[in-house]
Amino acid sequence: MYAKCGHLDDAVFFFNQMPQRDIISWNTLIRTYVLFRLGDRAIAVESDGGMWGRARSCVSYILIISACKYTNVVSVDTCQRLFHSMSSSQMIEAGPEHYAAMVHVLGFWGCFDKAEKLIMDMPFKPDASVWRALLDSCRLHSDYLRGRQAAQRLLALEPQDPSTYILIANLFTLLLVDGNA
């Protein structure tokens, strides 16, 4: 609650005061750091031993993968190792949310070829969250061609979702601003 109200220090203070911590409290701390775009701290929580000795949940992996967007150094390799370690070390099968988070990280860091390969290699049909992640990354990097393709796939899946149209409008507004129209 403290984190959602913008009080990072209070949230961390009260977490540290907890006599016992479970997977929910650890995930909440990681989510707090992701919310404040402090990916390095989120990954440190996961890797400094706090959580490593405990079983992680599928939510833990979504949060840690998402945190890789907000690190000070490009952490694509670290993120890919975490993504692939889910099934081998924790017996957690990657679901659409994991793939969407990974696509978003790859796209955030400009690794569009890797993102597209991941989408094509998914063991199931990509859902709207995966295409939305790619579209948002295309907006971020002004990649209009890929963005248009992602938008077409997304519109085929969720033609009534207003957030899709907002993402598309944002992408093509940048196109007009850049003078590439």
Model confidence pLDDT, tens digit, residues 136-179: 999 999 999 999 999 999 999 999 999 999 999 999 887 777 76
C-alpha pair distances (Å), 129 with each of 16, 90, 114, 153: 34, 24, 17, 11
Instruction: Tell me which residue of 126, 146, 127, 124 sits closest to 135, measured CA to CA.
Output: 146
Cβ-count burial of 108 within 10 angstroms (0-12 exposed, 13-18 middle, 19+ buried)?
buried
pLDDT at 11 (0 to 100): 87
C-alpha pair distances (Å), 81 with each of 20, 72, 78: 29, 18, 5
pLDDT tens digits, 8-50: 888 889 888 999 888 888 899 999 999 999 999 988 887 765 5
pTM metric for this prediction: 0.88
71-93 average pLDDT score: 83
Cβ-count burial of 17 within 10 angstroms (0-12 exposed, 13-18 middle, 19+ buried)?
exposed
Is residue 89 over pLDDT 90?
no
DSSP secondary structure string for all residues of 33-59: HHHTT-HHHHHHHHHSSTTTTSPPPHH
72-86 in b/e form (b: 16+ CB < 10 A) is: eeebbebbbebbeeb
Distance from chain centroid for Cα 11: 22
| Residues 99/124, Cβ–Cβ less than 8 Å | no
Ordered by start, the domain boundaries in the chain are 1-94, 95-181
pLDDT tens digits, 114-130: 999 999 999 999 999 99
| Residues 96/124, Cβ–Cβ less than 8 Å | yes
pLDDT at 109 (0 to 100): 94
5 vs 40, which has greater pLDDT? 40
Given CATH 1.20.120, say whether it is the number of domain 95-181: no
